[in-house]
Chain A
Amino acid sequence: MSELDGYSLRLYVAGQTPKSIAAIANLKKICDKHLPGRYEIEIIDLMKDPALAMRHQIVAIPTLIRQLPEPLKRIIGDLSNAEKVLVGLDIRPN
């Protein structure tokens, strides 16, 4: 994966809440389908360290942040609407 075309994603979750679990599963499914081999996901559990929320002013959980490519983008929710996620992350379906 090159840095130019890769996606660096960070998903903020709160432990094992239903929406957090759903968001992780939905995100992986979307990335596998539309960004095979071009993504990297970092899951941040704010239950363990709430202070990490400060970096991206996280209020709602789950929240997905696209760190790369720039600009920074934010999607709130459990990512069950794949189309909304693709639009939100600027990913063109293959």
Chain B
Amino acid sequence: MSQGDPKLPLFEDADETVAAIHQGDIDAVVVMRSLEGPQVILLHGAEEPYRVLVERMSDGALTTGPDGVVLYVNERLCELTGYPSSRLVGRGLNSLFEGEPPKLVPEVTAEASLLRNGDDAMPVAVWSRPISIADTTATLVRLSDLSIHRRAEQIAAAERFARSVLEQATEAVVVLSPDGHITHASWRAEQIAKRSPVGSKFSEVFQLEADSTPDARTLARFSAESLDTLLATRPFHGLEVKLCGDGAIKSTFLLSAGPLVDDNRTNVGSIVTLTDITERKRAEEQQTTMVAELNHRVKNILAIVQSVAAQTMRSSGSPENFAVAFDGRLKALAIAHDILTQTRWIGIGLSELLATMLAPYRAPEEPRISILGPAVLLPARAVVPLSMVLHELTTNAAKYGALSTRRGKIEITWQLGGGVDQSIELVWQERDGRKVKPPAQAGFGTKLIDRVISHDLDGKTRIDFDPAGIRYTLTFPVRGVATQRAATSGPATA
């Protein structure tokens, strides 16, 4: 052709041409056709409003030729990618994406990652449809920014997560904005507040008073407003408080606050927790009481041991006698304490205590000891003294009474007396033993029985020296004794 050199690049000033097309400075283009040669295509008419639409749309858009080369990009796509149109036009479509490029199926949306200049790839929805430009089949590709959508999804997911955490929290948890208003509240917080506290100031919903003097001094330093500000802006831990006001829950709470920070580590409020420590406080008080009680009991035991040792010493003629008697009494004491430990210091049924103390003398094949009486729960304080008394009675019977002969028997019966103090009258009757004679003077065992019943159990002892068998009648009050069962335990003979 005479007018031009076909070897020269047709798009000598491609950038300028593309810019002119974008700016709407031209309304016709010359397209090279291999057979027909150059041909003028008018851009106005049907294409013009379409071009304006594509140029102004809020999504990114581009067109590709049949070979997938980008022919045109709109302004929005330049914004999304951070590249000028001159850097995008002429490239293969797939080179615009990170990783797997989208598969273009007409009018089907796919997702892909759009490469950006100096930034992380952006998630985009890719939609396409074929278009026809002057007998040439091209593809219009629309790219929608999904990052805002994704961010919204992430925020929604985070919100759902936070809400479910709050809903599941068994403690009262509220989220405060920096100005002290409650923005979120757990189920327990709503329950304590007796209404939804969201939107109110913390101090309006939760009126606090301190649970101890030091905490009261701390709390007194703050007005309601300054407490709201403190909780919303400063980490705070360990103030024991109670709620005041009409109908407030009578619980003790541990008040704590911690900062709430966003992605940029900016403080955007705080998380305030009211932990119900009523049970813990109660357990602590119980433990303190128990330690004091234990201390008291240990001292009592030592006093008993000291007393028993001194008295046994006085009544023992020789070190050997002392050793035997003292050992027996200590064992009785130990058995009593085992019982108290096993029953967690609640006490024990009288028939169970008798069965335990007399077990060494109750051979199954030789029923010598019978136990018969109504079911009675002995209080813990009566267990040690009565065990000592039973030990002395048994020892006396073994040395001088019914258990010192082969045919001797012991019948133990009791009944409950009425009255405010409700007393037990326990009768220890020995039979078929040696013939009983009143002693010239009371032995140590008898003295101990009398002393324990009168001093420790606040009761009385009567001894009948019946020639057929000695009889002890022990009467002592059992305040707080509970009747376990209406039925009697029946004759517990063995």
A→B interface (CB under 8 Å): 14, 17-20, 46-47, 50-63, 74, 76-78
**B37/A50 in contact, CB under 8 A:** yes
A-B contact pairs, 17 of them (CB 8 A): A14-B28, A14-B40, A19-B25, A46-B38, A46-B40, A51-B37, A53-B38, A57-B4, A59-B30, A60-B25, A60-B28, A60-B30, A61-B27, A62-B26, A74-B13, A74-B16, A77-B20
- Measured CB to CB, the closest approach of chain A to B211, in angstroms, equals 81
A50, A76, A78: which contacts B16 (Cβ < 8 A)? A76
Report B1-29 CB contacts with A as 1/0, cut-off 8 Å. 10110101111110011001101011111
Q: For A78, give the chain B residue with the smallest CB separation.
A: B25
Among A19, A51, A52, A59, the one with the most B-chain Cβ atoms within 10 Å of its Cβ is A59
**B26/A77 in contact, CB under 8 A:** yes
**B44/A17 in contact, CB under 8 A:** yes
**A50/B38 in contact, CB under 8 A:** yes
Report B29-56 CB contacts with A as 1/0, cut-off 8 Å. 1100000011110101000000000000
**B1/A54 in contact, CB under 8 A:** yes
**A50/B40 in contact, CB under 8 A:** yes
**A19/B27 in contact, CB under 8 A:** yes
**A55/B44 in contact, CB under 8 A:** no
Q: For A48, give the chain B residue with the smallest CB separation.
A: B40
**B17/A60 in contact, CB under 8 A:** yes
A20, A58, A77: which contacts B30 (Cβ < 8 A)? A58
Complex Cα distance A55/B40, Å?
Answer: 15
Among B6, B9, B10, B25, the one with the most A-chain Cβ atoms within 10 Å of its Cβ is B25
- Tell whether A20 pairs with B17 under 8 Å between CB atoms, given A14-B40, A53-B38, A59-B11: no
Complex Cα distance A54/B40, Å?
Answer: 12
**B40/A18 in contact, CB under 8 A:** no
Complex Cα distance A51/B33, Å?
Answer: 11
- Tell whether A55 pairs with B30 under 8 Å between CB atoms, given A18-B44, A76-B16: no
**A51/B20 in contact, CB under 8 A:** no
- Measured CB to CB, the closest approach of chain A to B363, in angstroms, equals 125
Residues from chain B with a CB closer than 8 A to the CB of A46 are 28, 30, 38, 40
Residues from chain B with a CB closer than 8 A to the CB of A56 are 4
B26, B37, B42: which contacts A76 (Cβ < 8 A)? B26
Q: For B4, give the chain A residue with the smallest CB separation.
A: A54
Task: Count contacts between A and B, CB distance < 8 Å.
Answer: 87
- Measured CB to CB, the closest approach of chain B to A12, in angstroms, equals 8
Q: How large is the interface on B (under 10, 10 to 19, 20 to 34, 35 or more residues)?
A: 20 to 34
**B30/A53 in contact, CB under 8 A:** yes
- Measured CB to CB, the closest approach of chain B to A18, in angstroms, equals 6
- Measured CB to CB, the closest approach of chain B to A22, in angstroms, equals 9
Complex Cα distance A46/B28, Å?
Answer: 10
Q: For A19, give the chain B residue with the smallest CB separation.
A: B27
Report B122-141 CB contacts with A as 1/0, cut-off 8 Å. 00000000000000000000
Complex Cα distance A59/B39, Å?
Answer: 10
Q: For B39, give the chain A residue with the smallest CB separation.
A: A50
- Measured CB to CB, the closest approach of chain A to B23, in angstroms, equals 8
Residues from chain A with a CB closer than 8 A to the CB of B29 are 59-61
B21, B38, B42: which contacts A51 (Cβ < 8 A)? B38
Residues from chain A with a CB closer than 8 A to the CB of B38 are 46, 50-51, 53-54
B1, B4, B42: which contacts A17 (Cβ < 8 A)? B42
Residues from chain A with a CB closer than 8 A to the CB of B8 are 57
Complex Cα distance A55/B1, Å?
Answer: 9
Q: For A47, give the chain B residue with the smallest CB separation.
A: B40
Residues from chain B with a CB closer than 8 A to the CB of A53 are 3, 30, 38, 40
**A76/B20 in contact, CB under 8 A:** yes
Complex Cα distance A70/B23, Å?
Answer: 28
| 5 closest residue pairs by CB, A with B | A77-B25, A54-B4, A55-B3, A14-B28, A61-B28
Among B4, B6, B37, the one with the most A-chain Cβ atoms within 10 Å of its Cβ is B4
A14, A18, A54, A59: which contacts B3 (Cβ < 8 A)? A54
Complex Cα distance A73/B23, Å?
Answer: 20
Residues from chain B with a CB closer than 8 A to the CB of A60 are 17, 20-21, 25-26, 28-30
Complex Cα distance A89/B21, Å?
Answer: 21
* Apart from the given pairs A19-B28, A55-B3, 6 other A-B contacts in the complex at a CB distance below 8 Å: A20-B28, A56-B4, A57-B12, A59-B10, A60-B28, A63-B26
- Measured CB to CB, the closest approach of chain B to A82, in angstroms, equals 14
Residues from chain A with a CB closer than 8 A to the CB of B25 are 19, 60, 76-78
Complex Cα distance A58/B29, Å?
Answer: 8
Residues from chain B with a CB closer than 8 A to the CB of A78 are 25-26
Residues from chain B with a CB closer than 8 A to the CB of A63 are 26
Complex Cα distance A61/B10, Å?
Answer: 14
Residues from chain B with a CB closer than 8 A to the CB of A50 are 30, 37-40
Complex Cα distance A26/B445, Å?
Answer: 139
- Measured CB to CB, the closest approach of chain B to A11, in angstroms, equals 13
**B26/A51 in contact, CB under 8 A:** no
**B28/A17 in contact, CB under 8 A:** yes
- Measured CB to CB, the closest approach of chain B to A8, in angstroms, equals 17
- Measured CB to CB, the closest approach of chain A to B47, in angstroms, equals 12
Complex Cα distance A25/B35, Å?
Answer: 35
- Measured CB to CB, the closest approach of chain B to A74, in angstroms, equals 6
Residues from chain A with a CB closer than 8 A to the CB of B28 are 14, 17, 19-20, 46, 60-62
